[in-house]
Structure 1
């Protein structure tokens, strides 16, 4: 075929450089498309064989929807695909997948419908897709249409779309199937063989009782009525957790038959739900009573999708999201902001610029055993008892480091606090714990240091401090660490991160004690260091 540029040149018409460049690019794209179709024609049967699985279909057609972005595939996406395949096979009718943001939730649902229509030979599937966001669900419906209408898809599975029903909100194919996109707030009316619910809640409104209850009402009263056949049609919900009583929470509480695939970003050997129920080990799903899937991770803190979310990125997300959002959206175990042992409202008017003159201070350290448990941190809470009998949190230093870096942090914090702040350390049981305590005491020569064993579990130790917080007797000095601290208090004991709560319980207990179990004051005075702002920021 003679290109447009060649035709223009043959009649000696002047072609502006910009136009020529555009024509060259168009010609290049045309040739690339022709070469791709030739490859498809030569390899059609092998491609169809690779598309026998949803994973294979996604890998084969990824470039149709995402030509500029590399596909990264890991065991987590493979598990999601396997569960959707089980829906297609009729082995799962109600599927709930709770996964972190960035796990290709929306695209996965697009590929699944195209795969059923084409590779599975089910063009008659009628699909009702919904999300809290109308723009998002329309966007994904357009992607599905673009995928199905692609030359590659049409060559492998000829499936025409009907001209009389081909809008972005709903389009039909000649095989009697359709895909209709609706916002979650408008779910009355249509029905489908597949009801796909992609993030029914908005992160901005999930904490509003009124907004959330409206969504729950629609889910309970409307979604189940959207099925063409109540015995064979399927509902698939894929979402991030935003509240204990979000759609996922209600679906699980009602126990109406959802197979629940829960994939936290970081593996937790032990998880504690907001109601205090402890669960251990990996997520497991069962189909017809048989084990279908088991999370392959075994070590605390193992990542879900390191191919896309490496450790550095996960740590950055933790800092930016905060403890509350991280627990729900990424770890799939939400806790109410005003729930648990501590309530956010207790601290709403308890922030001060500085402590009262004459406050007696202690900084208690909760030491992480090992950074291999990535949920563990070393934290030092500086707490004071004020002359009027109230308590005040003055500062918090924390780190995920271990070994020498922890010792350095404790030393530097002591220098900043000065000798007027007593230092309190936990003493682990056994000879090793005694040796560690003695090493710290020796290192902190010139400061008042106490080290003693902790007694009771974490919840029991926190109860006296929580009582004072509830009574309005605990104040907090304003600082950049405030939000993370309050988040952790309000998630306790449901969160796996408890270091700041443990350190607060220890500091509170030391302030009430007449004397410490071990109290060593060495005679020389250590001067207070004038540390750089960079060092102080690192400590906090």
Structure 2
């Protein structure tokens, strides 16, 4: 190597880069973008899952990501050219909500074959079939067709079917007519074009729980690989190994500070769907959004007050969400007065109960579910704090929520207005998504409190002056 000329060394290095680009899709993406493409953790993960398809393995992959995180550039604009270059006899069908966007995908992949096909794979675009939306390889059967949803692919087949954002925006996704149109296109056209052993890649930003991915998860017989990549990590088994609350791609400016501002800007429901890939029914399922009543000033007196605690289901040394709520009742009306919700281990949970009890001394009854850390909490605080009562909830979570939902629908449940309790947005979102949401700890604490008053007869009016305040959850 020492005796080689500079020109020879450059040539050897060039050959090594080309070999890497041939063998590895990860390296191919960088190569064909002339150094203007930078990999991040999530794009590395996507490439890792796409590589087996190019290597001949059948896969069904769903990629759910927030906007502007490079999903189309990493997949739809680039992967078909690599797949066809590696497999010149294979056919690709790519589709999107608009024919113009699909044509763009076809054109960008054709350009990559024109620029790198001969050099990396020994293939080139056919001189007879080279349209941006329908092109083939010279001397091979392989090629790509790109069309909008509902476009003509009569007589065409696919070894790789790629669907990139079948819905343009929230308005389309919220339209039952358009959702049915997309589903019908999948059932009657797209899925029927897949050759035996063919693969499917669906790339979406989620807008609606009944979108294409939502229906496929319920109805498809295939074993889907689901790459759900929320803007902010919320799973302990996050696909990228992120810590809870960690951003997906801070390198692009989408860090935790951006996330906090964006959530306020777009609202909790849009944030959960568009950025976290957790779409929920607009009005809610068991508990409808429009049922809630709000107060800016809580009543000065209550018949009765209580605390309701949902403690962690983890061991004593770990941290998980713990929720403590304070409720007040006047006749049939119930008011959520305060809430604490945080990641707590057992010692932190004990201190939170002490703090809440000092803040709300008239909320003497303290309901604690008799599961997980509940028994330990009661045992350790029973000689220190009065009114700790173990609760064994009857029925499942859904049954309990259904039991209290008539009170919410009737307008008997009041929440603090978001102007005095910004955390109430997350509370409402969790209730609306229940039982399909990621978390249900706030719902559990609420149903535990409201269920208690189902079995207690309204007593004579007792003056219980309102003290304390609203704590951010």
TM bin, normalised by shorter chain, reads 0.7 to 0.9
Displacement of 1:145 in angstroms is: 3.7
Displacement of 1:172 in angstroms is: 4.9
Displacement of 1:482 in angstroms is: 2.7
1:473 correspondence with 2:408 = no
Counterpart contact for 1:95–1:258, Cα < 8 Å: yes
Q: TM-score, normalised by structure 1?
A: 0.65
C-alpha separation in 1, matches of 2:183 and 2:297 = 44
C-alpha separation in 2, matches of 1:373 and 1:164 = 68
The verdict on how the C-alpha distance between 1:463 and 1:258 changes in structure 2, with shifts beyond 3 A counting, is closer
What is aligned with 2:430? 488
- If you compute each CA radius of gyration, which structure gives the higher value, 1 or 2? 1
The verdict on how the C-alpha distance between 1:95 and 1:499 changes in structure 2, with shifts beyond 3 A counting, is same
Q: Secondary structure at the match of 2:35?
A: coil
What is aligned with 1:223? 190
What is aligned with 1:351? 294
Q: Secondary structure at the match of 1:436?
A: helix
Aligned to 1:58, which of 26, 38, 50?
26
Q: Deviations over 1:429-453 (max 9, x none)?
A: 69x8555225445665xxx643323
Counterpart contact for 1:264–1:330, Cα < 8 Å: no
The verdict on how the C-alpha distance between 1:80 and 1:371 changes in structure 2, with shifts beyond 3 A counting, is farther
Matched ranges for 1:256-295 at <5 A: 258-265=222-229
Counterpart contact for 2:364–2:387, Cα < 8 Å: yes
Displacement of 1:385 in angstroms is: 1.8
Aligned to 2:120, which of 156, 169, 173?
156
Counterpart contact for 1:133–1:183, Cα < 8 Å: yes
Matched ranges for 1:320-469 at <5 A: 320=263, 335-347=280-292, 350-359=293-302, 360-370=304-314, 376-387=320-331, 389-416=332-359, 418-422=360-364, 424-426=366-368, 428=370, 433-440=374-381, 449-456=387-394, 457-469=396-408
C-alpha separation in 2, matches of 1:498 and 1:168 = 49
C-alpha separation in 1, matches of 2:377 and 2:100 = 58
The verdict on how the C-alpha distance between 1:341 and 1:450 changes in structure 2, with shifts beyond 3 A counting, is same
C-alpha separation in 2, matches of 1:337 and 1:371 = 36
Displacement of 1:365 in angstroms is: 1.9
Displacement of 1:428 in angstroms is: 3.7
RMSD between aligned residues: 4.4
Aligned to 1:113, which of 80, 93, 98?
80
Counterpart contact for 1:301–1:375, Cα < 8 Å: no
The verdict on how the C-alpha distance between 1:254 and 1:379 changes in structure 2, with shifts beyond 3 A counting, is closer
What is aligned with 1:500? 442
- Structure 2 unpaired stretches of 5+: 249-254, 458-465
Q: Deviations over 1:217-258 (max 9, x none)?
A: 332333246x3x755665443435544432234345554x53
C-alpha separation in 1, matches of 2:338 and 2:105 = 47
Residue-pair matches, total: 436
The verdict on how the C-alpha distance between 1:52 and 1:62 changes in structure 2, with shifts beyond 3 A counting, is closer
The verdict on how the C-alpha distance between 1:433 and 1:487 changes in structure 2, with shifts beyond 3 A counting, is closer
1:42 correspondence with 2:7 = no
Displacement of 1:504 in angstroms is: 0.3
Counterpart contact for 2:320–2:345, Cα < 8 Å: no
Aligned to 1:84, which of 37, 53, 67?
53
The verdict on how the C-alpha distance between 1:65 and 1:353 changes in structure 2, with shifts beyond 3 A counting, is same
Q: Deviations over 1:487-523 (max 9, x none)?
A: 21122222341110111012213444559xxxxxxxx
What is aligned with 1:269? none
